Structure 1
Protein backbone atom coordinates (compact mmCIF):
# COMPACT_ATOMS: atom_id res chain seq x y z
CA UNK A 1 0.00 0.00 0.00
CA UNK A 2 3.01 2.26 -0.46
CA UNK A 3 1.34 4.23 -3.26
CA UNK A 4 -1.73 5.00 -1.14
CA UNK A 5 0.42 5.99 1.80
CA UNK A 6 2.54 8.31 -0.34
CA UNK A 7 -0.61 9.91 -1.79
CA UNK A 8 -1.85 10.39 1.77
CA UNK A 9 1.44 12.03 2.70
CA UNK A 10 1.15 14.44 -0.23
CA UNK A 11 -2.45 15.15 0.77
CA UNK A 12 -1.31 15.82 4.32
CA UNK A 13 1.33 18.27 3.09
CA UNK A 14 -1.01 20.18 0.77
CA UNK A 15 -3.72 20.41 3.42
CA UNK A 16 -1.17 21.47 6.02
CA UNK A 17 0.30 24.15 3.73
CA UNK A 18 -3.16 25.41 2.73
CA UNK A 19 -4.15 25.67 6.38
CA UNK A 20 -0.91 27.33 7.41
CA UNK A 21 -1.33 29.93 4.69
CA UNK A 22 -4.83 30.69 5.92
CA UNK A 23 -3.49 30.92 9.47
CA UNK A 24 -0.93 33.51 8.35
CA UNK A 25 -3.55 35.45 6.40
CA UNK A 26 -5.80 35.62 9.45
CA UNK A 27 -2.95 37.13 11.43
CA UNK A 28 -1.88 39.40 8.57
CA UNK A 29 1.54 37.81 8.48
CA UNK A 30 3.86 37.82 5.49
CA UNK A 31 3.07 35.06 3.00
CA UNK A 32 5.72 33.09 1.16
CA UNK A 33 5.82 31.15 -2.09
CA UNK A 34 5.76 28.23 -2.33
CA UNK A 35 3.21 27.40 0.35
CA UNK A 36 5.17 26.02 3.31
CA UNK A 37 4.06 23.03 5.30
CA UNK A 38 4.62 22.74 9.04
CA UNK A 39 5.69 20.22 11.67
CA UNK A 40 2.56 18.20 10.83
CA UNK A 41 4.05 17.22 7.49
CA UNK A 42 7.63 16.93 8.69
CA UNK A 43 6.60 14.36 11.30
CA UNK A 44 4.30 12.56 8.84
CA UNK A 45 7.31 12.26 6.52
CA UNK A 46 9.17 10.41 9.27
CA UNK A 47 6.22 8.05 9.73
CA UNK A 48 6.20 7.26 6.02
CA UNK A 49 9.99 6.95 5.92
CA UNK A 50 10.04 4.40 8.76
CA UNK A 51 7.25 2.36 7.19
CA UNK A 52 9.02 2.47 3.84
CA UNK A 53 12.33 1.28 5.25
CA UNK A 54 11.11 -1.18 7.91
CA UNK A 55 7.69 -2.33 6.67
CA UNK A 56 6.22 -1.59 10.09
CA UNK A 57 6.31 1.17 12.66
CA UNK A 58 9.53 0.83 14.63
CA UNK A 59 9.25 3.30 17.56
CA UNK A 60 13.00 3.68 18.03
CA UNK A 61 13.51 4.35 14.32
CA UNK A 62 10.66 6.85 14.37
CA UNK A 63 12.13 8.68 17.36
CA UNK A 64 15.51 8.80 15.62
CA UNK A 65 13.93 10.20 12.46
CA UNK A 66 12.03 12.85 14.40
CA UNK A 67 15.27 13.96 16.00
CA UNK A 68 17.33 13.83 12.81
CA UNK A 69 14.86 15.90 10.80
CA UNK A 70 13.66 18.33 13.47
CA UNK A 71 13.48 21.86 12.08
CA UNK A 72 12.56 24.48 14.67
CA UNK A 73 11.28 26.73 11.87
CA UNK A 74 8.38 24.37 11.11
CA UNK A 75 6.26 25.57 14.01
CA UNK A 76 6.49 22.73 16.49
CA UNK A 77 4.66 23.13 19.76
CA UNK A 78 6.56 24.30 22.85
CA UNK A 79 6.46 20.81 24.36
CA UNK A 80 8.28 19.22 21.44
CA UNK A 81 10.73 22.12 21.21
CA UNK A 82 11.58 21.68 24.88
CA UNK A 83 12.04 17.94 24.50
CA UNK A 84 14.30 18.40 21.49
CA UNK A 85 16.54 20.73 23.50
CA UNK A 86 16.85 17.98 26.10
CA UNK A 87 17.56 15.40 23.39
CA UNK A 88 20.49 17.55 22.23
CA UNK A 89 21.86 17.13 25.75
CA UNK A 90 21.63 13.34 25.51
CA UNK A 91 18.11 12.58 26.76
CA UNK A 92 15.82 10.00 25.14
CA UNK A 93 12.83 11.44 23.26
CA UNK A 94 10.60 8.52 24.16
CA UNK A 95 11.49 8.72 27.84
CA UNK A 96 10.89 12.47 27.89
CA UNK A 97 7.48 11.97 26.25
CA UNK A 98 6.49 9.43 28.89
CA UNK A 99 7.52 11.79 31.71
CA UNK A 100 5.85 14.90 30.28
CA UNK A 101 2.95 16.58 32.07
CA UNK A 102 3.93 14.99 35.39
CA UNK A 103 3.93 11.55 33.86
CA UNK A 104 0.49 11.70 32.26
CA UNK A 105 1.87 12.40 28.77
CA UNK A 106 0.53 14.79 26.16
CA UNK A 107 -3.05 14.56 24.95
CA UNK A 108 -2.31 16.95 22.09
CA UNK A 109 -3.21 16.34 18.47
CA UNK A 110 0.40 15.71 17.38
CA UNK A 111 -0.06 11.96 17.13
CA UNK A 112 -3.22 12.36 15.07
CA UNK A 113 -1.82 14.96 12.68
CA UNK A 114 0.73 12.49 11.27
CA UNK A 115 -1.37 9.29 11.33
CA UNK A 116 -3.17 9.31 7.98
CA UNK A 117 -0.23 7.99 5.89
CA UNK A 118 0.19 5.19 8.42
CA UNK A 119 -3.46 4.22 8.12
CA UNK A 120 -3.25 4.33 4.33
CA UNK A 121 -0.22 2.02 4.47
CA UNK A 122 -2.40 -0.60 6.20
CA UNK A 123 -5.47 -0.12 4.01
CA UNK A 124 -7.96 -2.93 4.57
CA UNK A 125 -6.50 -3.88 7.96
CA UNK A 126 -7.88 -1.43 10.53
CA UNK A 127 -6.77 -3.56 13.47
CA UNK A 128 -3.16 -3.42 12.29
CA UNK A 129 -3.50 0.30 11.57
CA UNK A 130 -4.73 0.83 15.14
CA UNK A 131 -1.87 -1.13 16.66
CA UNK A 132 0.79 0.63 14.61
CA UNK A 133 -0.77 4.05 15.24
CA UNK A 134 -0.70 3.40 18.98
CA UNK A 135 3.04 2.72 18.77
CA UNK A 136 3.65 5.75 16.55
CA UNK A 137 1.78 8.14 18.83
CA UNK A 138 3.57 7.03 22.00
CA UNK A 139 6.93 8.25 20.69
CA UNK A 140 5.78 11.78 21.60
CA UNK A 141 2.23 11.50 23.03
CA UNK A 142 1.63 8.92 25.74
CA UNK A 143 -1.64 10.22 27.23
CA UNK A 144 -4.50 7.84 26.37
CA UNK A 145 -6.36 10.59 24.51
CA UNK A 146 -3.30 11.55 22.49
CA UNK A 147 -2.93 7.90 21.50
CA UNK A 148 -6.65 7.53 20.79
CA UNK A 149 -6.58 10.47 18.39
CA UNK A 150 -3.84 8.85 16.34
CA UNK A 151 -5.65 5.51 16.33
CA UNK A 152 -8.90 7.10 15.16
CA UNK A 153 -7.27 8.92 12.24
CA UNK A 154 -5.24 5.89 11.17
CA UNK A 155 -8.29 3.62 11.19
CA UNK A 156 -10.29 6.18 9.23
CA UNK A 157 -7.56 6.19 6.58
CA UNK A 158 -7.48 2.39 6.43
CA UNK A 159 -11.15 1.69 5.65
CA UNK A 160 -13.70 2.55 2.92
CA UNK A 161 -15.87 5.62 3.56
CA UNK A 162 -18.98 3.59 4.36
CA UNK A 163 -17.15 1.84 7.21
CA UNK A 164 -15.48 4.90 8.69
CA UNK A 165 -17.44 5.53 11.87
CA UNK A 166 -18.13 1.88 12.69
CA UNK A 167 -14.47 0.96 12.27
CA UNK A 168 -13.15 3.96 14.19
CA UNK A 169 -15.55 3.35 17.08
CA UNK A 170 -14.64 -0.34 17.12
CA UNK A 171 -10.89 0.27 17.36
CA UNK A 172 -10.56 3.54 19.30
CA UNK A 173 -10.25 3.02 23.07
CA UNK A 174 -12.93 4.53 25.33
CA UNK A 175 -12.50 8.17 26.27
CA UNK A 176 -13.10 11.69 25.04
CA UNK A 177 -11.85 11.10 21.50
CA UNK A 178 -14.14 8.12 21.03
CA UNK A 179 -17.08 9.99 22.58
CA UNK A 180 -16.46 12.86 20.17
CA UNK A 181 -16.34 10.52 17.19
CA UNK A 182 -19.65 9.00 18.30
CA UNK A 183 -21.18 12.49 18.41
CA UNK A 184 -19.80 13.12 14.92
CA UNK A 185 -21.45 9.94 13.66
CA UNK A 186 -24.77 11.19 15.04
CA UNK A 187 -24.57 14.49 13.09
CA UNK A 188 -24.77 13.40 9.44
CA UNK A 189 -27.02 16.25 8.38
CA UNK A 190 -25.71 19.03 10.61
CA UNK A 191 -24.60 22.36 9.23
CA UNK A 192 -20.80 22.65 9.36
CA UNK A 193 -20.98 25.47 11.91
CA UNK A 194 -23.21 23.37 14.19
CA UNK A 195 -20.91 20.36 13.86
CA UNK A 196 -17.92 22.52 14.77
CA UNK A 197 -19.74 23.85 17.83
CA UNK A 198 -20.58 20.34 18.98
CA UNK A 199 -17.25 18.67 18.21
CA UNK A 200 -14.52 21.29 18.72
CA UNK A 201 -12.25 23.19 16.35
CA UNK A 202 -8.80 22.47 17.72
CA UNK A 203 -8.76 25.48 20.02
CA UNK A 204 -7.20 23.42 22.83
CA UNK A 205 -4.77 21.77 20.39
CA UNK A 206 -5.91 18.46 21.87
CA UNK A 207 -6.88 15.21 20.20
CA UNK A 208 -10.42 15.29 21.65
CA UNK A 209 -11.24 18.71 20.19
CA UNK A 210 -9.55 18.08 16.82
CA UNK A 211 -10.15 14.54 15.61
CA UNK A 212 -13.97 14.36 15.79
CA UNK A 213 -14.49 17.37 13.52
CA UNK A 214 -11.83 16.13 11.09
CA UNK A 215 -13.59 12.79 10.74
CA UNK A 216 -17.00 14.44 10.44
CA UNK A 217 -15.70 16.45 7.47
CA UNK A 218 -14.12 13.35 5.92
CA UNK A 219 -17.43 11.51 6.23
CA UNK A 220 -19.24 14.49 4.69
CA UNK A 221 -16.89 14.70 1.67
CA UNK A 222 -15.29 11.23 1.49
CA UNK A 223 -13.98 11.51 -2.07
CA UNK A 224 -13.76 15.27 -2.64
CA UNK A 225 -10.46 16.66 -1.38
CA UNK A 226 -11.13 20.28 -2.28
CA UNK A 227 -14.64 20.38 -0.83
CA UNK A 228 -13.45 18.82 2.41
CA UNK A 229 -10.58 21.27 2.86
CA UNK A 230 -12.78 24.23 1.99
CA UNK A 231 -15.34 23.00 4.54
CA UNK A 232 -12.99 22.51 7.47
CA UNK A 233 -10.59 25.42 6.96
CA UNK A 234 -13.01 28.29 7.80
CA UNK A 235 -14.20 26.44 10.92
CA UNK A 236 -10.85 25.47 12.37
CA UNK A 237 -8.77 27.19 15.03
CA UNK A 238 -5.82 24.81 14.57
CA UNK A 239 -6.35 25.15 10.86
CA UNK A 240 -3.16 23.58 9.52
CA UNK A 241 -3.62 20.43 11.61
CA UNK A 242 -7.29 19.95 10.79
CA UNK A 243 -6.59 20.48 7.10
CA UNK A 244 -3.62 18.09 7.28
CA UNK A 245 -5.70 15.31 8.85
CA UNK A 246 -8.63 15.75 6.47
CA UNK A 247 -6.36 16.03 3.44
CA UNK A 248 -4.29 13.01 4.41
CA UNK A 249 -7.27 10.69 4.90
CA UNK A 250 -9.00 11.68 1.67
CA UNK A 251 -5.88 11.75 -0.53
CA UNK A 252 -5.13 8.17 0.45
CA UNK A 253 -8.40 7.25 -1.25
CA UNK A 254 -8.48 9.57 -4.26
CA UNK A 255 -4.76 9.66 -4.99
CA UNK A 256 -2.61 12.63 -5.88
CA UNK A 257 -4.73 13.29 -8.97
CA UNK A 258 -7.65 14.04 -6.66
CA UNK A 259 -5.83 17.02 -5.13
CA UNK A 260 -6.38 20.35 -6.94
CA UNK A 261 -3.45 20.75 -9.31
CA UNK A 262 -3.03 24.42 -8.47
CA UNK A 263 -2.65 23.59 -4.80
CA UNK A 264 -0.15 20.86 -5.59
CA UNK A 265 1.96 23.22 -7.68
CA UNK A 266 1.80 25.93 -5.02
CA UNK A 267 2.95 23.66 -2.16
CA UNK A 268 6.64 23.11 -1.53
CA UNK A 269 7.82 19.59 -2.39
CA UNK A 270 8.33 16.87 0.17
CA UNK A 271 11.89 16.63 1.54
CA UNK A 272 14.41 14.67 -0.51
CA UNK A 273 14.95 12.07 2.22
CA UNK A 274 11.38 10.84 1.72
Structure 2
Protein backbone atom coordinates (compact mmCIF):
# COMPACT_ATOMS: atom_id res chain seq x y z
CA UNK A 1 0.00 0.00 0.00
CA UNK A 2 1.40 3.40 -0.95
CA UNK A 3 1.08 6.42 1.30
CA UNK A 4 -1.22 8.08 -1.21
CA UNK A 5 -3.85 5.36 -0.76
CA UNK A 6 -4.46 6.46 2.83
CA UNK A 7 -4.48 10.20 2.14
CA UNK A 8 -7.86 11.91 2.52
CA UNK A 9 -9.63 12.24 -0.83
CA UNK A 10 -9.97 15.99 -0.27
CA UNK A 11 -6.18 16.30 -0.50
CA UNK A 12 -6.21 14.83 -3.98
CA UNK A 13 -9.23 16.93 -4.96
CA UNK A 14 -7.64 20.19 -3.83
CA UNK A 15 -4.36 19.36 -5.53
CA UNK A 16 -6.22 18.50 -8.74
CA UNK A 17 -8.14 21.79 -8.61
CA UNK A 18 -4.83 23.61 -8.20
CA UNK A 19 -3.24 21.69 -11.07
CA UNK A 20 -6.10 22.59 -13.40
CA UNK A 21 -5.90 26.23 -12.33
CA UNK A 22 -2.15 26.22 -12.90
CA UNK A 23 -2.43 24.60 -16.34
CA UNK A 24 -5.13 27.02 -17.46
CA UNK A 25 -3.13 30.06 -16.34
CA UNK A 26 -0.02 28.68 -18.00
CA UNK A 27 -1.71 27.76 -21.28
CA UNK A 28 -3.67 30.99 -21.68
CA UNK A 29 -0.80 33.11 -20.43
CA UNK A 30 1.54 31.55 -22.98
CA UNK A 31 -0.67 32.83 -25.81
CA UNK A 32 0.29 36.40 -25.05
CA UNK A 33 3.89 35.89 -26.11
CA UNK A 34 2.52 36.04 -29.66
CA UNK A 35 2.77 39.70 -30.77
CA UNK A 36 -0.63 39.59 -32.50
CA UNK A 37 -2.26 38.64 -29.18
CA UNK A 38 -0.82 41.42 -27.02
CA UNK A 39 -3.55 43.88 -27.89
CA UNK A 40 -6.07 41.14 -27.14
CA UNK A 41 -4.51 40.82 -23.68
CA UNK A 42 -4.85 44.54 -23.06
CA UNK A 43 -8.48 44.38 -24.22
CA UNK A 44 -9.12 41.21 -22.19
CA UNK A 45 -10.07 39.25 -25.29
CA UNK A 46 -9.44 35.51 -25.44
CA UNK A 47 -7.24 34.32 -28.32
CA UNK A 48 -8.48 31.37 -30.38
CA UNK A 49 -7.80 27.92 -28.92
CA UNK A 50 -6.51 25.41 -28.36
CA UNK A 51 -4.08 26.80 -25.80
CA UNK A 52 -1.06 24.58 -25.19
CA UNK A 53 0.58 24.54 -21.78
CA UNK A 54 4.34 24.75 -21.24
CA UNK A 55 7.05 23.29 -19.03
CA UNK A 56 5.35 24.89 -16.00
CA UNK A 57 2.44 22.46 -16.27
CA UNK A 58 4.52 19.50 -17.38
CA UNK A 59 6.65 19.74 -14.23
CA UNK A 60 3.62 20.42 -12.03
CA UNK A 61 2.09 17.21 -13.37
CA UNK A 62 5.13 15.30 -12.11
CA UNK A 63 4.77 16.91 -8.67
CA UNK A 64 1.11 15.89 -8.62
CA UNK A 65 1.94 12.37 -9.81
CA UNK A 66 4.49 11.78 -7.05
CA UNK A 67 2.10 13.07 -4.39
CA UNK A 68 -0.69 10.88 -5.76
CA UNK A 69 1.55 7.83 -5.61
CA UNK A 70 3.39 8.54 -2.35
CA UNK A 71 1.59 11.19 -0.35
CA UNK A 72 4.95 12.93 0.08
CA UNK A 73 7.79 14.16 -2.12
CA UNK A 74 10.16 11.34 -2.97
CA UNK A 75 13.02 13.29 -4.52
CA UNK A 76 14.43 10.41 -6.54
CA UNK A 77 11.04 9.60 -8.01
CA UNK A 78 10.36 13.26 -8.76
CA UNK A 79 13.69 13.66 -10.54
CA UNK A 80 13.02 10.50 -12.57
CA UNK A 81 9.56 11.75 -13.54
CA UNK A 82 10.89 15.17 -14.56
CA UNK A 83 13.49 13.50 -16.77
CA UNK A 84 11.17 10.88 -18.27
CA UNK A 85 8.42 13.38 -19.13
CA UNK A 86 10.75 16.15 -20.31
CA UNK A 87 9.55 17.54 -23.65
CA UNK A 88 12.16 19.91 -25.08
CA UNK A 89 9.49 21.78 -27.05
CA UNK A 90 7.59 22.86 -23.93
CA UNK A 91 9.87 25.85 -23.35
CA UNK A 92 12.35 24.68 -20.71
CA UNK A 93 15.37 26.85 -20.01
CA UNK A 94 18.73 25.67 -21.37
CA UNK A 95 20.16 24.70 -17.97
CA UNK A 96 17.12 22.56 -17.14
CA UNK A 97 17.10 21.00 -20.61
CA UNK A 98 20.70 19.91 -20.17
CA UNK A 99 20.20 18.70 -16.60
CA UNK A 100 17.16 16.56 -17.40
CA UNK A 101 18.90 15.06 -20.43
CA UNK A 102 21.84 14.08 -18.24
CA UNK A 103 19.51 12.58 -15.62
CA UNK A 104 17.94 10.44 -18.35
CA UNK A 105 21.42 9.31 -19.30
CA UNK A 106 22.15 8.18 -15.74
CA UNK A 107 23.45 11.35 -14.14
CA UNK A 108 23.04 12.06 -10.42
CA UNK A 109 20.40 14.79 -10.03
CA UNK A 110 21.90 15.85 -6.69
CA UNK A 111 25.28 16.63 -8.21
CA UNK A 112 23.78 18.17 -11.33
CA UNK A 113 21.36 20.47 -9.47
CA UNK A 114 23.92 21.66 -6.94
CA UNK A 115 26.53 22.15 -9.65
CA UNK A 116 24.49 24.57 -11.75
CA UNK A 117 25.81 28.10 -12.21
CA UNK A 118 29.31 27.41 -10.90
CA UNK A 119 28.03 25.59 -7.84
CA UNK A 120 25.61 28.24 -6.60
CA UNK A 121 22.56 26.42 -7.90
CA UNK A 122 19.73 27.94 -9.90
CA UNK A 123 17.72 30.80 -8.41
CA UNK A 124 15.22 30.66 -11.28
CA UNK A 125 11.45 30.59 -10.88
CA UNK A 126 11.11 26.96 -12.01
CA UNK A 127 10.64 25.50 -8.53
CA UNK A 128 7.96 28.07 -7.70
CA UNK A 129 6.05 27.73 -10.96
CA UNK A 130 5.20 24.04 -10.42
CA UNK A 131 4.58 23.83 -6.66
CA UNK A 132 1.05 25.15 -6.05
CA UNK A 133 -0.60 21.69 -6.25
CA UNK A 134 1.76 20.53 -3.50
CA UNK A 135 0.61 23.37 -1.25
CA UNK A 136 -3.01 22.50 -2.01
CA UNK A 137 -2.32 18.86 -1.14
CA UNK A 138 -1.27 19.99 2.33
CA UNK A 139 -4.15 22.44 2.69
CA UNK A 140 -4.26 24.04 6.11
CA UNK A 141 -0.85 22.61 7.07
CA UNK A 142 1.62 25.26 5.90
CA UNK A 143 4.45 23.88 8.04
CA UNK A 144 4.24 20.56 6.19
CA UNK A 145 3.95 22.43 2.90
CA UNK A 146 7.24 24.20 3.72
CA UNK A 147 9.10 20.91 4.21
CA UNK A 148 7.66 19.28 1.12
CA UNK A 149 8.18 22.36 -1.06
CA UNK A 150 11.82 22.53 -0.03
CA UNK A 151 12.27 18.88 -1.02
CA UNK A 152 10.55 19.43 -4.36
CA UNK A 153 12.64 22.50 -5.16
CA UNK A 154 16.00 20.90 -4.39
CA UNK A 155 15.60 18.38 -7.19
CA UNK A 156 16.41 21.12 -9.72
CA UNK A 157 16.92 24.39 -7.79
CA UNK A 158 19.25 24.47 -4.78
CA UNK A 159 19.84 28.22 -4.46
CA UNK A 160 18.18 29.61 -1.30
CA UNK A 161 16.20 32.18 -3.30
CA UNK A 162 14.65 29.50 -5.52
CA UNK A 163 13.83 27.40 -2.47
CA UNK A 164 12.28 30.41 -0.73
CA UNK A 165 10.17 31.09 -3.81
CA UNK A 166 8.87 27.53 -3.88
CA UNK A 167 8.16 27.63 -0.14
CA UNK A 168 6.24 30.90 -0.44
CA UNK A 169 4.03 29.67 -3.28
CA UNK A 170 3.37 26.33 -1.57
CA UNK A 171 2.38 28.08 1.65
CA UNK A 172 0.15 30.45 -0.31
CA UNK A 173 -1.67 27.51 -1.90
CA UNK A 174 -1.91 25.69 1.43
CA UNK A 175 -3.42 28.74 3.10
CA UNK A 176 -5.74 29.53 0.17
CA UNK A 177 -7.03 25.96 0.05
CA UNK A 178 -7.39 25.56 3.80
CA UNK A 179 -8.90 28.85 4.94
CA UNK A 180 -12.43 29.85 4.01
CA UNK A 181 -12.17 33.33 5.49
CA UNK A 182 -9.14 35.24 4.26
CA UNK A 183 -8.35 38.87 3.74
CA UNK A 184 -5.54 39.91 1.39
CA UNK A 185 -3.50 41.04 4.36
CA UNK A 186 -3.99 37.93 6.48
CA UNK A 187 -3.15 35.79 3.46
CA UNK A 188 0.21 37.47 2.88
CA UNK A 189 0.94 37.63 6.60
CA UNK A 190 0.69 33.84 6.80
CA UNK A 191 2.96 33.45 3.77
CA UNK A 192 5.50 35.82 5.29
CA UNK A 193 5.50 33.93 8.58
CA UNK A 194 6.69 30.75 6.82
CA UNK A 195 9.03 32.15 4.16
CA UNK A 196 12.73 32.07 5.09
CA UNK A 197 14.81 35.27 5.11
CA UNK A 198 15.61 36.06 1.49
CA UNK A 199 15.11 38.60 -1.28
CA UNK A 200 11.91 36.71 -2.03
CA UNK A 201 10.63 37.37 1.48
CA UNK A 202 11.61 41.03 1.28
CA UNK A 203 9.65 41.26 -1.97
CA UNK A 204 6.58 39.66 -0.38
CA UNK A 205 6.79 42.15 2.49
CA UNK A 206 6.78 44.93 -0.11
CA UNK A 207 3.80 43.26 -1.82
CA UNK A 208 2.01 43.38 1.54
CA UNK A 209 2.63 47.11 1.73
CA UNK A 210 1.40 47.58 -1.84
CA UNK A 211 -1.95 45.83 -1.36
CA UNK A 212 -3.89 49.13 -1.56
CA UNK A 213 -2.40 49.71 -5.04
CA UNK A 214 -4.81 48.69 -7.80
CA UNK A 215 -2.59 49.02 -10.89
CA UNK A 216 -0.73 45.77 -11.71
CA UNK A 217 1.74 47.56 -13.97
CA UNK A 218 2.81 49.85 -11.15
CA UNK A 219 2.95 46.90 -8.75
CA UNK A 220 5.16 45.00 -11.17
CA UNK A 221 7.54 47.94 -11.45
CA UNK A 222 8.19 47.61 -7.74
CA UNK A 223 7.98 43.82 -7.40
CA UNK A 224 9.07 42.44 -10.78
CA UNK A 225 7.05 40.45 -13.29
CA UNK A 226 9.28 37.47 -13.99
CA UNK A 227 11.16 39.13 -16.81
CA UNK A 228 14.45 38.18 -15.13
CA UNK A 229 13.14 34.61 -14.63
CA UNK A 230 14.34 34.62 -11.03
CA UNK A 231 12.33 33.62 -7.99
CA UNK A 232 12.78 37.04 -6.40
CA UNK A 233 11.61 38.79 -9.59
CA UNK A 234 8.54 36.55 -9.93
CA UNK A 235 7.03 35.37 -6.67
CA UNK A 236 6.32 38.69 -4.87
CA UNK A 237 4.17 40.04 -7.71
CA UNK A 238 2.25 36.80 -8.13
CA UNK A 239 1.37 36.76 -4.45
CA UNK A 240 0.27 40.40 -4.65
CA UNK A 241 -2.04 39.50 -7.58
CA UNK A 242 -3.37 36.40 -5.84
CA UNK A 243 -3.99 38.29 -2.60
CA UNK A 244 -6.04 40.96 -4.35
CA UNK A 245 -8.33 38.44 -6.09
CA UNK A 246 -8.57 35.41 -3.80
CA UNK A 247 -12.12 34.56 -4.89
CA UNK A 248 -12.07 35.45 -8.59
CA UNK A 249 -9.97 33.37 -10.99
CA UNK A 250 -10.80 35.42 -14.08
CA UNK A 251 -9.93 38.74 -12.46
CA UNK A 252 -6.76 37.29 -10.96
CA UNK A 253 -5.65 36.05 -14.39
CA UNK A 254 -6.17 39.35 -16.21
CA UNK A 255 -4.53 41.31 -13.41
CA UNK A 256 -1.46 39.07 -13.61
CA UNK A 257 -1.28 39.05 -17.40
CA UNK A 258 -1.54 42.84 -17.58
CA UNK A 259 1.93 43.19 -16.04
CA UNK A 260 3.65 41.39 -18.92
CA UNK A 261 6.98 39.67 -18.30
CA UNK A 262 7.07 35.89 -17.92
CA UNK A 263 3.29 35.71 -18.37
CA UNK A 264 2.85 31.96 -18.62
CA UNK A 265 4.75 31.43 -15.36
CA UNK A 266 3.20 34.28 -13.39
CA UNK A 267 -0.28 33.21 -14.50
CA UNK A 268 0.52 29.56 -13.72
CA UNK A 269 1.51 30.46 -10.15
CA UNK A 270 -1.52 32.66 -9.58
CA UNK A 271 -3.82 30.15 -11.28
CA UNK A 272 -2.54 27.33 -9.10
CA UNK A 273 -3.23 29.33 -5.95
CA UNK A 274 -6.64 30.75 -6.90
CA UNK A 275 -7.76 27.46 -8.43
CA UNK A 276 -7.86 25.98 -4.94
CA UNK A 277 -10.75 28.22 -3.90
CA UNK A 278 -12.45 29.78 -6.95
CA UNK A 279 -14.19 28.14 -9.92
CA UNK A 280 -12.42 28.16 -13.27
CA UNK A 281 -14.27 29.75 -16.21
CA UNK A 282 -15.83 26.74 -18.03
CA UNK A 283 -15.42 28.26 -21.48
CA UNK A 284 -11.73 28.80 -20.82
CA UNK A 285 -11.19 25.20 -19.78
CA UNK A 286 -12.67 24.01 -23.06
CA UNK A 287 -9.89 25.79 -24.93
CA UNK A 288 -7.07 24.50 -22.71
CA UNK A 289 -4.97 21.49 -23.67
CA UNK A 290 -6.10 18.53 -21.52
CA UNK A 291 -3.89 17.33 -18.71
CA UNK A 292 -2.03 14.05 -19.30
CA UNK A 293 -3.41 10.88 -17.74
CA UNK A 294 -0.01 10.03 -16.26
CA UNK A 295 -0.31 12.97 -13.83
CA UNK A 296 -2.94 10.92 -11.96
CA UNK A 297 -1.20 7.53 -11.89
CA UNK A 298 -1.39 5.89 -8.48
CA UNK A 299 0.88 2.89 -9.10
CA UNK A 300 3.71 1.92 -11.45
CA UNK A 301 2.74 0.90 -14.96
TM-score relative to the length of structure 2: 0.86
Q: Residue 263 of structure 2 aligns with which residue? A: 239
Q: Residue 282 of structure 2 aligns with which residue? A: 261
How many residue pairs match? The answer is 269
Q: Residue 220 of structure 1 aligns with which residue? A: 244
CA distance in 1, matches of 2:34, 2:150: 32
Q: Residue 16 of structure 1 aligns with which residue? A: 26
Q: Residue 4 of structure 1 aligns with which residue? A: 14
Deviation at 1:261, TM superposition (A): 1.0
Q: Residue 229 of structure 1 aligns with which residue? A: 253
CA distance in 2, matches of 1:26, 1:97: 37
Deviation at 1:251, TM superposition (A): 0.3
Please say if residues 63 and 94 of structure 1, whose CA atoms lie closer than 8 Å, have aligned partners that are also in contact. Answer: no
CA distance in 1, matches of 2:102, 2:37: 31
Deviation at 1:26, TM superposition (A): 5.4
Deviation at 1:24, TM superposition (A): 2.3
Unpaired runs of 5+ in structure 2?
1-10, 39-46, 296-301
CA distance in 1, matches of 2:264, 2:110: 25
Q: Residue 41 of structure 1 aligns with which residue? A: 57
Task: From 143, 153, 159, give the equivalent of 1:137.
Answer: 153
Please say if residues 135 and 171 of structure 2, whose CA atoms lie closer than 8 Å, have aligned partners that are also in contact. Answer: yes
CA distance in 2, matches of 1:95, 1:264: 39
Unpaired runs of 5+ in structure 1?
none
- Per-residue CA deviation, residues 214-271 of structure 1 (Å, 9 max, x unaligned), is 00000100010000000110212100000000000000112xxx11111100001001
Task: From 126, 130, 148, give the equivalent of 2:142.
Answer: 126
Please say if residues 84 and 104 of structure 2, whose CA atoms lie closer than 8 Å, have aligned partners that are also in contact. Answer: no
> What is the Cα-based RMSD across aligned positions, in Å?
1.5
- Per-residue CA deviation, residues 82-118 of structure 1 (Å, 9 max, x unaligned), is 1123224321223201111111100000000011100
Is the partner of 2:34 in helix, strand or coil?
helix
Residues 64-143 of structure 1 aligned to structure 2 (within 5 Å): 64-143=80-159
CA distance in 1, matches of 2:78, 2:264: 22
The 1:27–1:228 alpha-carbon spacing in structure 2 relative to 1, beyond 3 Å, is: closer
**Who wins on radius of gyration, i.e. which is larger?**
2
